[in-house]
Structure 1
């Protein structure tokens, strides 16, 4: 059996509205993402709060699936965050209190199927 390694997603910046950062492939339906970790980097000179959601397939961001509730990232600093397990079709969404200053990087994660 061959193993294939790939980056989950390219770095992206958060806006002030919830937007999708990563979506799990819908097939195979038995796949899931485990041990995922994100790095949030604040490139501004002010603290910025960040909210992240682990949204079930077909769902919407809400307090029920929030896993990082408006946590402040210090100026010119980074914060590493563990992501809850995702199933096929689930996705991660995020937003920041100030747009275009929080970069999101994939640090780790394994897709099992």
Structure 2
């Protein structure tokens, strides 16, 4: 089994509607993201609610794949969130109650494939 370390995605500001943050590469159908960790940083002076989803390939976000269900990120603070295992083609989506003030960036994670 091969293991690949690479930056999962560039930091991005969350919008007020669910948007795709990154997609697990589909170069190999056996690719699996393990050990994912992201940081949500609130740059505003007020707490902001954030929601994240790990959506299966060709799926849509919803209750069944919510991995960080509407939690408040304190003002001028951050929260680290573990990302569940994701397979090739799965994607991470998220949004914040206030657009443009919470960024998400990768902290850890590796792709495994056979």
> TM-score per shorter chain, which class?
over 0.9
Q: Which residue of 1 aligns with 2:79?
A: 79
Tell me how far apart the structure 1 counterparts of residues 50 and 3 of structure 2 sit (CA, whole Å): 34
Q: Which residue of 2 aligns with 1:49?
A: 49
- Distance change in 2, residues 1:67/1:77 (3 Å): same
* TM-score normalised by length of structure 1: 0.95
Greater share of strand:
2
Tell me how far apart the structure 2 counterparts of residues 39 and 110 of structure 1 sit (CA, whole Å): 16
SS where residue 64 of structure 2 aligns?
A: helix
- Distance change in 2, residues 1:112/1:39 (3 Å): same
1:1-113 alignment runs, 5 A limit? 5-113=5-113
* TM-score normalised by length of structure 2: 0.95
Gaps of 5+ in 1: none
- Distance change in 2, residues 1:83/1:27 (3 Å): same
The Cα shift of 1:5 comes to 3.4
SS where residue 59 of structure 2 aligns?
A: coil
Superposed CA RMSD in Å reads 1.3
- Distance change in 2, residues 1:112/1:4 (3 Å): closer
Aligned residue pair count? 112
Tell me how far apart the structure 2 counterparts of residues 70 and 112 of structure 1 sit (CA, whole Å): 30
Tell me how far apart the structure 1 counterparts of residues 57 and 49 of structure 2 sit (CA, whole Å): 26
SS where residue 10 of structure 1 aligns?
A: coil
The Cα shift of 1:39 comes to 0.2
